[in-house]
Structure 1
């Protein structure tokens, strides 16, 4: 995973499929607990999600809410989007088409 500090208060994380997905989200959560920032999760290289991935996303969301930070997910493929729709996660996360739109969204909401 590539974690980039896009600005003083925004991190962009490029995710990949499991098993890296889980490791990447855990590393991101560890970092955010000591240094809270807004986050863009780029799903461009994520081809599928499983129940463990969904649990990690929900845990990340809980950390973000507790710290008062925002989270945006972008570049979600059709298969992953279908899972997010069926599980109702489309209603609790902010989604955009690409990283630049996600960054703009976070900047406007801050």
Structure 2
């Protein structure tokens, strides 16, 4: 679990399960707001399911990162969580890849 500066311009977030997930997202959002200039990779490996409250926090984080011209990439998203993204229509809004190595490589190629 935790938030780490993976490189100069990439923050890597290993999300915990609910209910701690919401607190972690709040912390990440504050960190990105203070830092301002970074890409964010969110690893969902430990997350089975996500609440509407956490969905809201993810949308806020996406807007914050997007407003700065950067990308928010999700990886290792469980089928149940992917289903929630699909049902809510958020699968077209969030960028998802298989694992954190693909996510980091994708951001480094573009960045």
How many pairs align? 110
Root mean square deviation of aligned Cα? 0.9
Partner deviation per Cα, 1:21-75 (whole Å, 9 max, x = no partner): 1100000010111102111000000010111111111000110111222110000
Match of 2:5 in 1: 5
- Structure 1 ranges of 4+ moved more than 6 A: none
Secondary structure of 1:84's counterpart equals: helix
TM-score (norm 1): 0.95
| Unmatched tracts of structure 2, length 5 or more | none
Match of 1:58 in 2: 59
| Unmatched tracts of structure 1, length 5 or more | none
| Inter-partner Cα distance in structure 1 for 2:89 and 2:103 | 20
